[in-house]
Structure 1
Amino acid sequence: MEVKIEDSWKEILKDEFHKAYFEQIAMHLKLEKASGKTIYPPGGLIFNAFDQTPFDKLKVVLLGQDPYHNPGQAHGLCFSVQKGVKPPPSLVNIYKEINKDLGLPIPETGDLTPWAQNGVLMLNAMLTVRANEPASHSKIGWENFTDAVIQKISDKKQGVVFILWGRFAQEKQILIDATKHHILKAAHPSPFSADKGFFGCRHFSKTNELLVKEGLEPIDWRL
């Protein structure tokens, strides 16, 4: 199957695209669309995280779980929503933490594309979802693919900052070589857990401190 994805990633991940599990994902999506199901994000944005953050520009990995499942929200970047869409509660809490950590104003937009273009791979573990059905594609094989992505970043790069919020993201730590990368962990920014260790984590300033130590440009977290 021909996958439309940014060239550096196409090369790094080429073996995955020919594996049986990936063919099954493609078939599953095709069958659901044929049966009239709406799938988010739209087809051209499924690999948007990779398209916005080429492998050689990647400095930070921010890990999410599932795309947003309401109309007009998901566009292939974890925690981010399309322009003009109201920031969801978890993103509002992320903005509050940035404001406290870095003193930056709380943005009105929920579109985090500038972060992705600045070197933050904004990776959901599942890259698609059925409309109005959260976690509906959690068992179709996407985690095989995104686990391989995390593993390849760990193997082929050095000094990447992995930001893991919540238990689900933290379970991915086993895929990361902690002797050559940095891992930041905190509670999830969801309203259900933000008070239990997300607020006050200062991951935005800490990420930049680590990048500067690696001799890299810090992330511009302004939007």
Structure 2
Amino acid sequence: MHVVPDPITHPHPESLPAAWAAVIPELQPLYNSISASLEMEADIRPRRGLWFEALRQVSPSTVRVVLLGQDPYHGEDHGIQQAHGLSFSVPDGVRPPPSLRNMLKEMQSDLGQTLESGNLMPWAEQGILLLNASLTTRGGEAGAHSKLWQAFTHALITYLGQRDTPLVFILWGSHAQQFRTLIAAHHPVISSVHPSPLSAHRGFFGSQPYSKVNAALRTLGLAEIHWGN
């Protein structure tokens, strides 16, 4: 006899932020499908309640910069999950992974500034949408849910890339740069190779992305980002 497993009960259900659902109506049905597909998954990174942290921190009306990552961190450090819903960022108390270390190294070189933590929440608070192309993955497995989120991310980047109000896009690496065709010409795009140790020495170091973003914001008549502490 086939036994249907009991559904996993989740103490922290995830819901799409209303402000984003309002401006991009197709996100909700797309997310309903994703949520159903993930219902039986036990170990999802980041944990439920943090999937839409980037969208909660930055509303459609306050986004000034989009920093597009690929996939959430799937590991842990000192027993703390690395992923917390913001691309490239880690929670306080978690050591920066290699790509983030290289980002902070380039920030020191570019601006002479540092961050005390790998937690990039101060960037989000200034209107930087720290968005991963895939908003979840399975614990210990990179890219596990990337196909699930493709249409969702496409709709999100299409809305941002085609809106009239200019914003600055940061596209590091070939995966992020695949979205460039969705971005209209009036939005400045800062691009280079990825800060990963595999590619950082081939053009990320010395690319000065932080000062370039601030220069682009100034040209648009927008306030600069305070990148460091």
Q: Report the TM-score, using the length of structure 1 for normalisation.
A: 0.91
Q: Distance in 1 between matches of 2:220 and 2:101?
A: 30
Does residue 64 in structure 1 map to residue 69 in structure 2? yes
Equivalent residue for 1:133? 141
Q: CA RMSD in A?
A: 1.4
SS at match of 1:167: helix
3-state SS of the aligned residue for 2:38? helix
Give the greater-gyration-radius structure (CA).
2
Give the alignment of 1:15-94 within 5 angstroms.
Answer: 15-19=26-30, 22-32=31-41, 37-71=42-76, 72-94=81-103
Return the match for 1:207 from 194, 199, 213.
Answer: 213
Give the structure with the larger helix fraction.
Answer: 1
Q: Return the offset for 1:8.
A: 2.1
Q: C-alpha displacement at 1:184, in angstroms?
A: 1.1
The whole-number CA distance in structure 2 between the counterparts of 1:3 and 1:69 is 18
Residue 147 of structure 1 and its aligned partner are, at CA, apart by 1.2
Q: 2-side partners of 1:125 and 1:157: how far apart?
A: 22
| Equivalence map 1:161-200=2 (5 Å) | 161-178=168-185, 180-200=186-206
Give the deviation of 1:24 after TM superposition. Answer: 2.7
Give the CA deviation at 1:14.
2.6
Q: Are residue 112 (structure 1) and residue 120 (structure 2) matched?
A: yes
In the TM superposition, what is the alpha-carbon distance from 1:158 to its structure 2 partner? 2.3
Contact 2:26–2:155, Cα closer than 8 Å, also in 1: no
1:14 counterpart = 2:22 = no
SS at match of 1:10: helix
Cα distance in 2 for partners of 1:184, 1:135 equals 24
Residues 14 and 51 of structure 2 are in contact (CA less than 8 Å); yes or no, is this contact kept in structure 1?
no
Shift of 1:25: 1.0
Rate the CA distance shift 1:10–1:16 in 2: closer, same or farther, 3 A: closer
- Residue 95 of structure 1: aligned partner: 104
> Is contact 1:3-1:17 (8 Å) kept?
no
1:8-50 CA distances to partner (integer Å, 9 max, x unpaired)? Answer: 212112322124xx33311111022xxxx30011111100001
| Partner secondary structure for residue 220 of structure 1 | coil
Residues 68 and 3 of structure 1, relative CA distance in 2, 3 Å threshold? closer
Describe the superposition over 1:112-152 as per-residue Cα deviations: whole angstroms up to 9, x where unpaired. 01101101101100000100011111122x01101111110
Task: Find the residue that maps to 2:178 and give its secondary structure.
Answer: helix
Cα shift readout 1:155-197 (whole Å, capped 9, x = no counterpart): 224221110000100111011112x101111010001100001
Distance 1:7 1:23, change over 3 A: closer
Whole-angstrom distance in 1 between the partners of 2:26 and 2:196: 35
Structure 1: give runs of 5+ residues left out of the alignment: none
Q: Which letter does structure 1 place at the counterpart of 2:190?
A: L
In the other structure, the counterpart of 2:4 is none
Name the SS of the counterpart of 1:123 in structure 2: strand
Question: Aligned with 1:55: secondary structure?
Answer: coil
CA distance in 2, matches of 1:114, 1:147: 26
